[in-house]
Amino acid sequence: MYSKEQIIANVLAGKSNVVQQEKGAVYAPANIALCKYWGKRDRTLNLPMTPSLSISLAQKGSHFAFEVLNEEKDRVKLNGIAIDAQHDFYQRLFSFINLFRRNDEPRLNIDITSTIPIAAGLASSASGFASVVKGLNILYGWQLSCSELSLLARLGSGSACRSLWDGFVEWQHGSRDDGMDSLGIPLDLVWPQLRIGLLLASSDKKSISSREAMAITKQTSPLYSLWPEQVAADLAMIKTALAEKNFTDLGEASERNAIAMHATMLEATPAISYSNAKTAAWVQQVWQLRQDNMPVYFTQDAGPNLKLLFLEDRYTDILQLFPDVEIIKPFSV
């Protein structure tokens, strides 16, 4: 069994943990998985049972600014509000940062601005931990590549390994016990016409964390044994669809993968459901629209919020049909 400290030592071999730059600011985008990550083969190192594939959400993500303090305690603001040291967010943040500091030094003043709701199923932890490792890279002057930072970000939150790049990223699940082959790999392709529509059913904190829900699902759901096979088929279809710009195949495989993940959770003991009445109504609306020959699909992560997949030529239609939607253009070119 490997520890996080061992992995960090491997990645940072020969690197200093002496401050090189006393202040800095970075940004990391959130990502949504078109082929999902659900279940771990190693909970300590956040090693997944299967690969996954995501797309970043452009301006939706985490801004991380830091400054070295000559004080005895760290300070944190989240969206402009000071966070107490007893807060779960504060403790999770510094339990991660302290993996890299000697004797909790240097003390830091950290300002995090998230342009997405926290812990609501919109991958706030992914962009959050990706932004943290990018900030530490500046603080200590490591000059690490995005691939190396991906390995470190994964130790904070598994899906954070996909938030070091814009666009499409595949998380290779790897086979090594130390996880050094489990990291994000950006896909060398763009799809300028692709659009993501965010439908916010609730911004409240989830009743059960993804980490806990994954463990329960893996341990108790009779459908989980089928999950790796499902992922393999869906991932192959999605990668081919992306290469060929085949929107129908992309939408069908992404939606099917999301439905399979949530069905697997429903078969767990106790059953896990993240959907609410709004989620269910939007799903029915999407299915009806396709019956009416409107090419729109959905995906859903571990939360009630829905993400629509459609192309630019349906932009006006989607705005009219879903008045509360926020439309993301993942590619600016």
For 52-76, what is each residue's pLDDT tens digit?
999 999 999 999 999 999 999 999 9
Cα separation of 55 and 31, whole Å? 5
Q: What is the pLDDT of residue 199?
A: 96
Task: Identify whether the C-beta of residue 8 lies closer than 8 Å to the C-beta of residue 148.
Answer: no
Q: What is the DSSP string of 229-251?
A: HHHHHHHHHHHHHHHHT-HHHHH
Q: What is the gyration radius of the CA atoms in the chain, in angstroms?
A: 20
Quick one: pLDDT at residue 273?
96
pLDDT band at 123 (very low <50, low <70, confident <90, very high): low
Is pLDDT of 24 > 60? Answer: yes
Mean pLDDT score, 3-26:
96
Query: Mean pLDDT across the stretch 178-203?
Result: 96
Return d(Cα 193, Cα 200) in angstroms, integer: 23
Whole-angstrom Cα distance, residue 25 to residue 59?
A: 15
Tell me: the pLDDT tens digits for 195-249?
A: 999 999 987 878 899 999 999 999 999 999 999 999 999 999 999 999 999 999 9
Tell me which fold the domain 4-186 belongs to.
Answer: Ribosomal Protein S5; domain 2 (3.30.230)
pTM, to two decimals: 0.95
Alpha-carbon gap, residue 49 to 45, rounded angstroms? 12
pLDDT band at 121 (very low <50, low <70, confident <90, very high): very low
Lowest mean pLDDT segment, chosen from 32-36, 43-47, 112-116, 197-201: 112-116
Q: What is the mean predicted confidence (pLDDT) over 22-42?
A: 97
CATH number assigned to the domain with residue range 194-328, chosen from the 4 options 3.30.930.10, 3.30.70.890, 1.10.8.60, 3.10.580.10: 3.30.70.890
Return the DSSP state at 160: G
Per domain, the residue ranges of the chain are 4-186, 194-328
pLDDT of residue 120: 44
